[in-house]
Structure 1
Amino acid sequence: MGKEKRKFNYTKIEKSWILQDWANSAYSIMITTAIFPLFFKAVATGADVSAANSTAYLGYANSIGTLVVSMLAPILGAIADYKGYRNPMFTLATGLGIIATISFAFISDENWQLLLILYAFSSIGFSAANIFYDASLVDSTTPNRMDRISSAGYGWGYIGSSIPFVIFIIFQLTGILPISQIALIKGGFVATALWWFVFTIPYWKNVKQKTYIEKQPHVIKNSFLRLWKTIKNVRQHRNVFLFLIAYFFYIDGVGTIFKMATSIGSDVGLSTNDLIIVMMITQLVAFPFSILYGILAGRFGNKKMIYVGISTYTFICIFALSLDSLLTFIVLAVLVGTAQGGVQSLSRSLFGQLIPKENANEFFGFYNIFGKFAAVIGPLLVGITSQITGNSLNGVFALIILFIIGGIALYFVEEPPLIKE
């Protein structure tokens, strides 16, 4: 009876791990997606920077942050595999992200250059912290529960990111606070940083590094040597890298649809308010379906459920050709919500089941690289197809290629058998 009960409840460590997704997801929507781009554009415009240049500068900051973390990810992970290193490195990265985020509120309205530098640092801190967070999944639960716990993390992350965003939108639309728009946005920065910090406290208290490599002299040098050895002996980890190839393609399609959704919606004729509604629908639908994917993975297997997600996205690419109104866009948003979190969470847990546990941080460094650089082909495919055909919906349809290639590659990945507890 105890074992049966545990299947449907979380341990203290599992809850603490899940809550970290709730904590840092606020950064994704409040800073990356919603209020920072608008704030930066306003500050840059006030400093006589043209709209085109400010957009370009923001793009450069995003690219630099992504490139820095992607290039450093494997070595950071390799260092974090040593005993006693992962948690301090997680804290350092998280602290960098939180301090940079709260600093936005104290930058003068003309100093757009410093604002952009701090944004790049916040992005680096956020992404680096996630390397260590993802890797800590293997220490936070058992192999049989990884799918469920990873899915719960994504699911609760969607809710955790939505709450501060919804509150911010209510204040913005109603104007019930007697403050200026700029003051409201700066308050949003402070609230995001505090949300991130407060809900990370349980992770700091309860999630410990259990699998590790014993400390050696010359940690950094030996980390590079271990990393090089892993790359040279790629055949020994054939299953892991086969998965990464599959992941590279299908997650590129997932990420591109999410990133290009507002642009496509604008082309269809949706207003800003319509797009906000659609975004919230996706977040709310993703919550229960992310958790459902984890439950079903325990019954039908991880790979099968990832294939369900890939199939859903394949249908989304086809359905996108019929987008012509708010109603059809809402249907698409619901479809995306049913699969987005499930595909991402089960990919993370399957990878955690495939890798050697004592090298989890190093391998999740590679996972981070493949995930980051996967965001290249999809947008390029959408752009080229849209220009050639003169229709952005055809660009979304072209993404079907990525899901087909990813699905084929995933077929050759051997899913590890789970040991019954």
Structure 2
Amino acid sequence: MPHSRGAELRRAEQVPDHKPSNNPAPNSSPPSPIPHRRREVFAWMMYDWANSAYSTLLITVVMHYIQEVVLPGDAGPVAFAWGIGGAMIAAAVLSPIVGAEADANRSKRRWLAGTAFCGAAATVAMALVPIEPAWLVIALFVLMGVCFELSLVPYNGFLLEITDERTINRVSAWGYALGYAGGSIPLVAALLLFKYSHHAGLTDQTLLHRLCILMLGLWWGLFSLPTVLILRDRGPRPDSTEPFGRAARAAVARVARTIANIRRFPVLALFLLAFLFYNDGIQTVITQATTVANKDLHFSVGELFLLVLMIQLIALPGALLMGRLSDRLGQKAVLLGCLVVWSGLLIAAAAVEEKTSFWIMGFVLALVMGGTQSVSRALMGTITPQRHAAEFFGFFNLSGKAASILGPVQFGLVILLTGQARLAAVSLLIFFIVGGLLLAKINVAEGRRQAAG
């Protein structure tokens, strides 16, 4: 995605007082002392490739395994939705602590390795344990979700260390694009396994589900290796590393001070509040859309694979398109446009009764899904002081996860009360309305000045 001259001119207009200087202000974000090597950027993007298997197989084979094998009946959709909600709230509590500790000890790489490999191990264990007792399967399901969310804290924190203002949109968008491309491979493998395994004498549906979940864990763990082996924390290391308990207490204190002083970055605070709402809606739609297809429209597991594969393939150019548009039109304008599309899809969900209509909705969703996420991440990066990168991206995850329990819980409750997943989807509209109204009030140029000052 080439950097546009129009974006260059807009940035000059947004920061009119900027002048070249050999002595930048103490609180400004200095350029990285290490060149932005393609090797580092590629290694960073590889984690999008690695964790993409979680994103695609979670909403297909893992969802189907829990709802049709482990807990068949009405308990399955509720356990799936509430399990995701539980993982989100746990990640919300831990994300700021992980981010602050990673900043204090220059340990983003260590935290990324620990959370990624722990999540992969939990996934492998989920594939191997028996379905009884069901609580053990659900516990491993929640653990893999917590690890996935926590791994994004140091991962996103690395973004500012390998990019600058000219390249952050491009690298963020390419990271999501590589993830969408990579996520299609395990999805196709799972589809082929379900479709042709009977030729090899494999007809046990429970075994097929377990093999796909095992593949998910191995994919996540193995493809995380390039990221962990190549990326390194930048900046001076502390003279001594505090024990985790002491570091955690210090991190909590720093987080508390950051919350108390968040008024120093009012644009960032308002963005985090807006993101809290609209991202809750987005994440719930992403994780529960296949529940609508499975419960209300009676999609087979093969049709679910094909639906998500189509979304993956369309989301790839969609993410790149939104990244290009954010360079030309501005991040805020693109985000608001995406939220309007999300809202329209939820309204349409109330009337959908045919599989063909749902496929069309999935196509439109794919166009804005990756763009909404990548542009949000890039916008967060442009209004975040670089010296607080991991800590504030911890708050980015906090903003995304703290209320994320509300969407899945609300979704599950509506299913319990009405028996219709479509109405549960429509109920999520409130998150997009509130988030969009808050986002409309953000002054991005002022946010950049606050971050630099």
Instruction: Report the TM-score when normalising by structure 2.
Output: 0.79
Match among 30, 35, 47 for residue 61 of structure 2: 35
For the residues of structure 1 that align with 2:336 and 2:161, how far apart are their CA atoms? 27
**Offset at residue 143 of structure 1 (A):** 2.2
For the residues of structure 2 that align with 1:56 and 1:396, how far apart are their CA atoms? 14
**Structure 1 counterpart of 2:259, one-letter code:** I
Deviation readout 1:76-125 (Å, 9 max, x if unpaired): 11101124321111111112112222223432454544433333332222
Which secondary structure does the structure 2 equivalent of 1:144 belong to?
A: coil
Contact kept, 8 Å, 1:250 with 1:405, in 2: the verdict is yes
Which one scores higher on RCO, CA 8 angstroms, separation ≥ 6? 2
Match among 163, 166, 170 for residue 192 of structure 2: 170
**Offset at residue 133 of structure 1 (A):** 0.9
Which residue pairs with 2:281 in the alignment? Answer: 253
1:237 aligns with 2:265: yes
Match among 232, 251, 257 for residue 208 of structure 1: 232
Which residue pairs with 1:350 in the alignment? Answer: 379
The unaligned stretches of length 5 or more in structure 2 are: 8-35
Match among 139, 148, 167 for residue 161 of structure 2: 139
Deviation readout 1:8-64 (Å, 9 max, x if unpaired): x9822111111110101112222x32333444567646xxxx745566655564444
Distance 1:212 1:168, change over 3 A: farther
For the residues of structure 1 that align with 2:418 and 2:77, how far apart are their CA atoms? 26
Deviation readout 1:163-211 (Å, 9 max, x if unpaired): 1121111111222333344443333233222222222222123322225
Which residue pairs with 1:406 in the alignment? Answer: 435
Match among 222, 247, 259 for residue 198 of structure 1: 222
Which secondary structure does the structure 2 equivalent of 1:324 belong to?
A: coil
5 Å-filtered alignment, 1:257-268, equals 257-265=285-293
Moved more, 262-271 or 75-84: 262-271
1:79 aligns with 2:101: yes
For the residues of structure 2 that align with 1:95 and 1:132, how far apart are their CA atoms? 14
Deviation readout 1:303-342 (Å, 9 max, x if unpaired): 1211221122233234435523222222211110010110
**Structure 1 counterpart of 2:277, one-letter code:** F
1:16 aligns with 2:43: yes
Moved more, 121-130 or 261-270: 261-270
Which residue pairs with 2:33 in the alignment? Answer: none
CA RMSD in angstroms, aligned pairs only: 3.4
Distance 1:394 1:94, change over 3 A: closer
The unaligned stretches of length 5 or more in structure 1 are: none
For the residues of structure 2 that align with 1:141 and 1:409, how far apart are their CA atoms? 28
Which residue pairs with 1:25 in the alignment? Answer: 52
Contact kept, 8 Å, 1:101 with 1:122, in 2: the verdict is yes
**Structure 2 counterpart of 1:26, one-letter code:** A
Instruction: Report the TM-score when normalising by structure 1.
Output: 0.85
For the residues of structure 1 that align with 2:142 and 2:417, how far apart are their CA atoms? 34
Distance 1:341 1:148, change over 3 A: same
For the residues of structure 1 that align with 2:205 and 2:407, how far apart are their CA atoms? 35
Match among 147, 159, 167 for residue 125 of structure 1: 147
**Structure 2 counterpart of 1:118, one-letter code:** L
Distance 1:394 1:186, change over 3 A: closer
Contact kept, 8 Å, 1:386 with 1:392, in 2: the verdict is yes
| Percent identity (aligned) | 26
Match among 316, 323, 327 for residue 298 of structure 1: 327
Which secondary structure does the structure 1 equivalent of 2:397 belong to?
A: helix
Contact kept, 8 Å, 1:93 with 1:126, in 2: the verdict is yes
For the residues of structure 2 that align with 1:28 and 1:55, how far apart are their CA atoms? 18
Contact kept, 8 Å, 2:59 with 2:290, in 1: the verdict is no
**Structure 2 counterpart of 1:242, one-letter code:** L
For the residues of structure 2 that align with 1:226 and 1:359, how far apart are their CA atoms? 11
**Offset at residue 135 of structure 1 (A):** 1.6
**Structure 1 counterpart of 2:60, one-letter code:** A
Distance 1:226 1:215, change over 3 A: farther
**Count of paired positions:** 410
**Offset at residue 274 of structure 1 (A):** 4.0
Moved more, 62-71 or 299-308: 62-71
1:362 aligns with 2:391: yes
